[in-house]
Amino acid sequence: MRVGMETHPFAAAPTGGPGLESLPVEPLLTSEFDGDPGSVYERLRSTYGPVAPVGLMGVPAWLVLDYREVLEVLRNESVWRRDVRHWRARAEGRLPQDWPLLAGYEVRQTMFFDDEEHRHARLSYHSAMRPFQDGHSPEGWELRAAVAHYADELIAMLAAESGTTGFADLAAQYTRPLLLMVTTKLFGCPVELGDEMVMDLWRMLDGGPDAGPATGRALGAMTRLAAHRRSRPGEDLTSYMLLADPSLSDEQLGRELFMNAVYLNDITGNMVCNTLLEVLRGNATVRRSLSNGQLGETVNRAALANPPTANLCFRFAARDVRLGNFLIRAGDIVSPSVAAAHQDLLKIGSSHLVDSAVSTRAHLAWGAGPHQCPSAARELAGTIVTTAVGRIFEHFGRAELTLPPDQLPWRSGPVVRGLKLLPVRYELAGHSSVRGVGERWVDGAGASAASAEAGVAGVEPGVRQEESSGLLGLLRRMMSGRRRSG
Ligand code: HEM
């Protein structure tokens, strides 16, 4: 596939001076970066200053490292554009064939809109998400109750499989299924999303060899969901998006849901795991804030130490502009690094920031400026994260990592830094209500009773599916339980 062949009015011609393409760049994604991105950011900063030229899978890009410059890029939308058509190298057909990071950027949705189109899309989001924003509406209340219930059920599963003391992978056995269940509920989907969809989102974000087909598969699933909800509206985000903007086609709504699915599964999951990790590894301030009952503050501290989206979406310069020590030329690609900006912020604020209980809110994990995470999404995601983390420490009397923190395996790509595994040894608290509850999931009695009573819950007539094993089967059984008790 040859990409970006159109000559485009979006990509302005640059003026003179040495361009990004003529600078020597070092590849960003190395094994050193996988193991310790912080030291790579530090070295780039000391070599180049607040902005550094790097190679991203063979393509040169500007990595923005310092807090002040990252904020400038996030806030100033008239210079830093989102639409990929502003990218000169793409417009001139100079990208390598099948450059893996392009697949996601070619999916045109709110994140990659500018100006009026962007403002219009955000308004639709605001109205569609409002019912879920807090617990004061029936939808918001039900979703929050469901998150806590799913979390309890997953912990009960662990207890049933491994006993009141045992080993668990809190990424694979808890966080990932929890977020798939929440996605299913929020999007109003027949329970057909499985681990494979999450893996496809990973393949896209990490720019694996299969990124293009993986993006196509995930988009296809979301477009089918949009069509399904158009014909059978419910009290879910998909239906409310259609109410907010009836002109959305199935394809466009599918693209929006696809992006939300990335946030809800991958990014929210990273925030859950990173927060759990900060607590487990004994970050003293995080533990202190947790023991004070300030879970929101714990999340902020973890987000500062380890933001779930390490590097935000690319921006493209609308005109030649100075940033850091370089002249960025019109149509150049720029990647604002939240992880590097936090490193910079912690250095500036040092002990003051780490000890303070309020200033951690300066973190950029939700972005900043006109494209920042919409407030309703932020509140919802914040509740999901605090509930997911809170239920673990409610039920566990003790939990400790079974690997030294520096040996934990990370998924480290151009966008996301997230744990592949979060292996722990746990002991249930004496008071935990899940002691003994989980057996019904392993002996199968609960499952068959649930499906007999509720059908295959969550699956609408016409899209009913066969019972299946593995994660999908587990989710169905649990959600059947939810329907019965809810
Ligand atoms: C812990 C979880 C989450 C984090 C850390 C997060 C973070 C972010 C960040 C950093 C951005 C801006 C990206 C950029 O400027 O390049 C963003 C945008 C966005 N997020 Fe979230 N998000 C989370 C959860 C969610 C959820 C659950 C949803 C929806 C269900 C959502 C919907 C959106 C949307 C629609 C945008 C695009 C806004 C725009 O471009 O105007 N996010 N999010």
Taking only the tens place, the pLDDT of each residue in 280-313 is 887 656 555 566 567 777 788 889 988 999 999 9
What does the pLDDT read at residue 462?
A: 31
Burial environment of residue 153 by CB neighbours within 10 A (0 to 12, 13 to 18, 19 or more): buried
Tell how far the Cα of 377 is from the centroid of ligand 1, in angstroms.
7
Tell how far the Cα of 158 is from the centroid of ligand 1, in angstroms.
30
Q: Of ligand 1's atoms, which has the minimum distance to the CA of residue 110?
A: 40
Give the model confidence (pLDDT) of 147-201 as tens digits. 999 999 999 999 998 889 999 999 989 998 899 889 888 998 875 566 677 778 8
Tell how far the Cα of 30 is from the centroid of ligand 1, in angstroms.
27
Tell how far the Cα of 263 is from the centroid of ligand 1, in angstroms.
6
270 lines ligand 1 (CB under 6 A): no
260 lines ligand 1 (CB under 6 A): yes
Tell how far the Cα of 365 is from the centroid of ligand 1, in angstroms.
9
Dist. CA 456–CA 448, nearest whole Å: 10
What does the pLDDT read at residue 440?
A: 43
Ligand 1 pocket mutation pick from 373, 384, 389 by most atoms within 8 angstroms of CB: 373
**Using CA positions, which residue lies closest to atom 23 of ligand 1?**
263
What does the pLDDT read at residue 195?
A: 66
Tell how far the Cα of 310 is from the centroid of ligand 1, in angstroms.
13
**Using CA positions, which residue lies closest to atom 21 of ligand 1?**
373
Tell how far the Cα of 366 is from the centroid of ligand 1, in angstroms.
6
Place of tokens 């959305």: 248
Dist. CA 268–CA 378, nearest whole Å: 10
Ligand 1 pocket mutation pick from 262, 263, 364, 380 by most atoms within 8 angstroms of CB: 263
Q: Of ligand 1's atoms, which has the minimum distance to the CA of residue 385?
A: 1
381 lines ligand 1 (CB under 6 A): yes
Rg (CA), the chain: 23
Structural domains for the chain: 1-99+310-364 (3.30.43.20), 138-305+372-485 (1.10.630.10)
What does the pLDDT read at residue 5?
A: 43
Give the model confidence (pLDDT) of 434-443 as tens digits. 765 544 443 4
Tell how far the Cα of 282 is from the centroid of ligand 1, in angstroms.
28
What does the pLDDT read at residue 63?
A: 98
Q: Packing angle between helix 470-485 and helix 176-187, nearest 10 degrees? A: 60
Residues whose CB falls within 8 Å of the CB of residue 393, separated by 6 or more in sequence, listed in order: 279, 290, 399
Using 70 as the pLDDT threshold, list the residues of the chain that sit under it: 1-18, 191-195, 283-293, 349-359, 435-486
Dist. CA 486–CA 484, nearest whole Å: 6
